Amino acid sequence: MVSISTFPFRRFASPGSILVLILLAVGLAACGGGGSNAGRGEVVFTAVSEGNADIYRVDNESGLPVRLTSAAGEDFAPAWSPKKNMIAFLSRRNGAPALWLMDWNGASKRQISDQGLEIKRFRWAPDSKSIGLEIATGRFSWIAVLDVESGEVEALTSRAETAEIGDWSPDGEWLLYAVVDGDTTGIRRRNPNGVDEITVTTGRDTDPRWSPDGRKIAFSRTTGTAGNATSNLVVTDQDGDKSVNVAPDDFDEASFRWAPDSKHIMFVSEATGNAEIYIVTPDGKDTKQLTSNRVIDAAPRWNSNGSSILFLSEGNGSLDIYSMNKDGEQQKRMTSISDVILEADW
């Protein structure tokens, strides 16, 4: 059995298998303008077939995958813009992973990050006009904001420490990130249009996610010693004054996402001995298990209004995309392919 700590995968496997690496658009409301696809909420994913990684979407009308990229070199990590008219993705077709944009139907592909910059992860800003970047330089990584129209990049963190990108505030005023290698580790928020940098937490905290109502921040807090460490799901206010461990057990909580109404957080845990999907209230008082089986369930994502959930489930040696309603009922298989899918965005 594969541990859920391996999700999401950062590298692709050997030719012949299919792996998926998808980063969600911030807010995941994951619509309007820019073509006939606007508002349809189609699933996008990356497949590695015959040694090359390309991006596909599942057509809502036919249910069939539509290939969006076909260039030599890996194209991966597709993420819908909040307006749902563009898809950002990473590509190694010219060397180091660079950030590219294309229209919803795969047209007008263009590289928007400078040649030579190695982009590790990215997050769309709520207005779809800028994108937060995590850029690798040597053994460090730093956070910057890229203007989609001009291509200009503005650094937010030092290049002499390692910072991992987190999430935008719903109003786009703040960008969260975690400093994991520096004088003081922990979660910080920075105003890209100003000079303020505020420390939210200190310690071994990563993957900060802002609640859609802007009132809370969920993040992963590592406790314990090497070889016996646990990642806990913690919720705090935007200043880090009041923190609650909402899943206090000895098991890791991974792949957590806020519901659009901010009333629940979805996560994956192996608390029952198998990777299953759960939801919990931000105060930690009410937890509900949504899936129950003997295979891996992983990478859950809410739809824009919180009525349904997209997730991956293992079967017959592969992972396929499924959907279910917010109570875990009406589960439906959306893909059926012979290889493995590991994440999906809609």
Q: How far apart are CA 275 and CA 144, in angstroms?
A: 34
Looking at residue 303, its pLDDT comes to 87
Question: What integer pLDDT is reported at residue 337 of this predicted model?
Answer: 59
- Residue 42's closest CA among 331, 304, 272, 266? 304
Contact 47, 53 (CB under 8 A): yes
Q: In what order do the strands lie in the sheet with 253-258?
A: 253-258, 265-269, 276-280, 287-289
Burial class for 123, CB neighbours closer than 10 Å (0-12, 13-18, 19+) = buried
Could you tell me which of 206, 99, 207, 196 has the C-alpha nearest to residue 153? 99
Per the CB < 8 A criterion, the answer to whether 77 and 21 are in contact is: yes
Q: Which amino acid is it at 12?
A: F
> How do the domains of the chain map onto residue ranges?
1-111+313-346
Q: How many Å apart are CA 164 and CA 169, to the nearest integer?
A: 16
Q: Name the token pair of 270.
A: 């192996």
| Predicted local confidence at residue 46, as pLDDT | 84
Q: What DSSP assignment string belongs to 202-251?
A: -SSEEEEEE-TTSSEEEEEEEES-TTS-EEEEEEEETTSSSEEESS-SSS
What stretches of 73-215 adopt beta strand conformation (E)? 75-80, 86-91, 98-103, 110-111, 118-124, 130-137, 140-147, 153-155, 162-168, 175-181, 186-190, 197-199, 205-210
Tokens of 122: 């990215």
11 exposure class (CB count in 10 Å sphere: 0-12, 13-18, 19+): exposed
Question: pLDDT value at position 7?
Answer: 35
Q: Which residues, at least 6 apart from 72, have a Cβ–Cβ distance to it below 8 Å?
A: 52, 93
Q: What is the pLDDT of residue 40?
A: 57
Backbone angles phi, psi at 335, to 5 degrees: -130, 155
> How far is residue 73's CA from residue 61's CA, in Å, rounded to a whole number?
30
Q: What is the pLDDT of residue 21?
A: 29
Encode the chain (346 residues) as per-residue pLDDT tens digits: 233 333 333 333 333 333 332 322 222 222 233 334 443 568 888 877 777 888 988 887 887 888 999 998 899 999 999 999 999 999 999 889 999 999 999 999 999 999 989 999 999 999 999 999 999 998 899 999 999 999 999 999 999 899 999 999 999 999 999 999 877 899 999 999 888 899 999 999 999 999 999 999 999 999 887 778 889 999 999 999 999 999 988 888 899 999 999 999 999 999 988 899 999 999 999 999 999 998 889 889 998 889 999 888 886 666 788 899 999 999 988 776 555 454 556 7
Answer whether 340's CB lies under 8 Å from 319's CB.
yes
Q: Are 8 and 299 in contact (CB under 8 A)?
A: yes
Q: Length of the chain, please?
A: 346
Task: For residue 28, give Cα distances in angstroms to 82, 93, 136, 148.
Answer: 7, 27, 25, 19
Burial class (CB in 10 A: 0-12, 13-18, 19+), 260: buried
C-beta separation of 88 from 75 below 8 A: no
Q: Note the pLDDT of residue 304.
A: 84
pLDDT of residue 316: 64
Nearest to 132 by CA among 85, 42, 193, 68: 193
